[in-house]
Structure 1
Amino acid sequence: MNDSSINDTRKAELLSTTVEHIDIREFDARPIIDSMGKMSFTSRDLARATRIYNQMLEDKDCTIFLVIAGSTSAGGCMDLYAELIRSNMVDCVVATGATIVDMDFFEGLGHKHYQALEIPDDDTLRSLYIDRIYDTYIDEEQLQDCDFTINRIANSLEHRGYSSREFIREMGKYLVEHGKKDNSLVKLAYEHDVPIFCPAFVDSSAGFGLVKHQVDQMKKGEGYMMIDAIADFRELTDIKIASGDSGLLMVGGGVPKNFIQDTVVCAEILGHEGVAVHKYAVQITVADVRDGACSSSTLQEAASWGKVNTGIEQMVFAEAGSVMPLLASDAWHRQNGGKDREARRWAKLFDKKA
């Protein structure tokens, strides 16, 4: 057996067990959340956060923003987020490029994430073209297929600036036509007119494909499409202005969290004095507050900036993959699978302006 065959065999061994994404419909977390509400510490925090999310869903005037940072999608929460869109339990998504491209769009193309049953030396993983997220593996060759698919989508578009929302909508359209997974957040968002924003879009596999697009076009002396980050901020602020009351369900923090919170301030700068701060806010994070960050401040601290309401907010200091399934399952069952909630379809706001 030659070295290539040995490597192929070893790679197949390491990529033998796929991550199975949790299905919040298969279990009813309401009794667990109710019991946790009678406890203390993080259990009670989670129960209160879940009650706040249910309040958002029951508030007929509330637009709900799902904000995702970190790697929970790769770790098994991907179908959870997709179900929230399918069940009309979120109205807009703000996320990292990795969440949307490297994880969801990647699986939409038919690729998988894998459980690391052992953690070999990372140099060995590199030699086998395996990327590691803690105890989860991705096949780098499959990820490059994602890069080149992004490149093909970019090559098919008119040469102009696009908000990340516009480009991700094109990705959703691509998955409708060519995808291999029905339960994709990007695909479902396209079908349900739920806009997705990635304020740092090129910090992902999309970046490689878009750079190649730009370089190839420049070599030909032709124009190219580009991602307009200012349009991202403007469009997301447009939704906040039009939505009235709003609620934030935030997993992690960082740029997506700060981006959605800043829409309130941006609306004020644009002269819309009556735009309310975010009425509800939940953040699940393991970040620490002592360095002044906590993935861009605690919710109480954000109130001093005029971004959120101090009355209906809850920080939950926990690893999101272990608590989001409980929160989401409780809400899904308590809200009849979202059947009684009116769809906002905020993506149509921009169709009218086109």
Structure 2
Amino acid sequence: MNDPLKSNRKAELLSTQVEHIDITSFDARPIIDAMGKMSFTSRDLARATGIYNDMLSDKDCTVFLVIAGSTSAGGCMDLYAELVRNNMVDAVVATGATIVDMDFFEGLGHKHYQALEVPDDDTLRSLYIDRIYDTYIDEDDLQNVDHTIFEIAESLEPKPYSSRAFIREMGKYLVKHGKKENSLVKLAYENDVPIFCPAFVDSSAGFGLVKHQVDAMKAGKPYMVLDAIADFRELTQIKIEAGVSGLLMVGGGVPKNFIQDTVVCAEILGHEDVDVHKYAVQVTVADVRDGACSSSTLQEAASWGKVNTAIEQMVFAEAGSVMPLLASDAYHREHWKKREPRRWAKLFDQ
């Protein structure tokens, strides 16, 4: 940006970084215990936390972390990373924005900023500042992510890849070139926790991948492609191998439906003995009256043969305000210390 006035204004707006909450720095167990004696959403959260702890204490349970929405940008990024670091989740299903625009973005050394002042959005556009409610991103930094994804794609053998396989390459890249230790993508790579993004191209990654494909087509060369069917097959394979499973879902949308559908897919593949997801927790603010996937209750999912109605809990709350309590409680109860790492990523090693 060549205009000094605009540069100064941009620096003013991008002056206060979002600080991600550290669930290890406080013990939420007394709060959750007290909420369990209350009513309404407080008791729902306490029960949901108890169910998550049951997942962790069940030696046979594979835990899927399912993320949609912008909680990573809003301050929960390190929370999710700690769950991976401490063997509290075994696989991740998320939106491309969560994995690429937020976590990989910060893994490269970029930051999210608090929008302490919100001028009109046309002004933000002129300054190359992107807004997520009350959070800012520097568009120049985000375009660096686009180009890095392009660079990774260019380095790969031209063949089909599941999103899991491509994100693993992103984790490998961060091990060599990353600027942040507490990256979900990096830690998942190091701990063999597979990450799936069923709508991966609907993110900053899409721009880099389109450029990779267009450049290759112009040059008459082959190119790598994302195989969405492989995503579904691989995730279903984990469900088949895992047996007992639990879902910790933040938001809804495509990731929620994708992981739940693995039960149905397993049946279609002839594995009629595959159980529904035994445990399920969802935190959402979506309104159930619109009939959408994000808002559909876990009881409703049972009618589709996806989850067990006996051990499920909906929590209708903004996830950034309750997930730190749930995760801190589970961290300090320490069931994770007795869990064997599943390392499901190794299932796909050739």
Select the residue among 338, 344, 349 that pairs with 2:342.
Answer: 344
How far off is 1:77 after superposition? 0.1
1:313 corresponding residue in structure 2: 312
Contact 1:258 1:296 in 2 (8 A): no
Residues 151-195 of structure 1, C-alpha deviations (whole Å, 9 max, x = no match): 000000001110000000000000000000000000000000000
TM-score calculated relative to the size of structure 2: 0.99
Note if 1:109 corresponds to 2:104.
no
1:151 corresponding residue in structure 2: 150
How far off is 1:3 after superposition? 7.4
Q: 2-side partners of 1:170 and 1:60: how far apart?
A: 30
1:215 corresponding residue in structure 2: 214
Amino acid at match of 2:346: K
2:192 corresponding residue in structure 1: 193
How far off is 1:297 after superposition? 1.7
2:229 corresponding residue in structure 1: 230
Note if 1:87 corresponds to 2:86.
yes
2:64 corresponding residue in structure 1: 65
Contact 1:21 1:78 in 2 (8 A): yes
Residues 193-231 of structure 1, C-alpha deviations (whole Å, 9 max, x = no match): 000000000000000000000000000001100110000
**Secondary structure, aligned partner of 2:205:** helix
Contact 2:288 2:295 in 1 (8 A): no
Contact 2:249 2:281 in 1 (8 A): yes
TM-score calculated relative to the size of structure 1: 0.98
**Secondary structure, aligned partner of 1:339:** helix
Contact 2:287 2:295 in 1 (8 A): no
> What runs of 5+ residues in structure 2 fail to find an aligned partner?
none
**Secondary structure, aligned partner of 2:93:** strand
Q: 1-side partners of 2:2 and 2:220: how far apart?
A: 43
Q: 2-side partners of 1:45 and 1:296: how far apart?
A: 16
**Secondary structure, aligned partner of 1:106:** helix
Contact 2:302 2:309 in 1 (8 A): yes
Contact 2:22 2:78 in 1 (8 A): yes
Contact 2:64 2:90 in 1 (8 A): yes
Amino acid at match of 2:339: R
Q: 2-side partners of 1:293 and 1:153: how far apart?
A: 35
Contact 1:66 1:250 in 2 (8 A): yes
How far off is 1:101 after superposition? 0.1
**Secondary structure, aligned partner of 2:3:** helix
1:176 corresponding residue in structure 2: 175
Q: 1-side partners of 2:156 and 2:108: how far apart?
A: 20
Residues 91-127 of structure 1, C-alpha deviations (whole Å, 9 max, x = no match): 0000000000000000000000000011110000000
Q: 2-side partners of 1:237 and 1:52: how far apart?
A: 23
Amino acid at match of 1:218: M
1:129 corresponding residue in structure 2: 128
1:258 corresponding residue in structure 2: 257
Aligned-pair RMSD on alpha carbons? 0.9
The aligned length equals: 350
Q: How does 1:232-311 map to 2 (within 5 A)?
A: 232-293=231-292, 295=294, 297-311=296-310
How far off is 1:291 after superposition? 1.2
Amino acid at match of 1:345: R
Q: 2-side partners of 1:339 and 1:247: how far apart?
A: 18
Q: 1-side partners of 2:138 and 2:252: how far apart?
A: 27
Q: 2-side partners of 1:259 and 1:335: how far apart?
A: 29
Q: 2-side partners of 1:63 and 1:340: how far apart?
A: 14
Contact 1:257 1:296 in 2 (8 A): no
Q: 1-side partners of 2:192 and 2:295: how far apart?
A: 29
Note if 1:14 corresponds to 2:16.
no
Amino acid at match of 1:341: R
Q: 1-side partners of 2:340 and 2:185: how far apart?
A: 21
Q: 2-side partners of 1:23 and 1:146: how far apart?
A: 25
How far off is 1:339 after superposition? 2.0
Q: Give percent identity, aligned residues only.
A: 84
1:323 corresponding residue in structure 2: 322
**Secondary structure, aligned partner of 1:153:** helix
Q: 1-side partners of 2:128 and 2:2: how far apart?
A: 15
Q: 2-side partners of 1:322 and 1:152: how far apart?
A: 37
Q: 2-side partners of 1:322 and 1:296: how far apart?
A: 18
Q: 2-side partners of 1:294 and 1:12: how far apart?
A: 39
Q: 2-side partners of 1:294 and 1:244: how far apart?
A: 24
> What runs of 5+ residues in structure 1 fail to find an aligned partner?
none
**Secondary structure, aligned partner of 2:213:** helix
How far off is 1:294 after superposition? 5.1
Contact 1:288 1:294 in 2 (8 A): no
Contact 2:257 2:293 in 1 (8 A): no
Q: 2-side partners of 1:339 and 1:315: how far apart?
A: 27
Contact 1:29 1:330 in 2 (8 A): yes
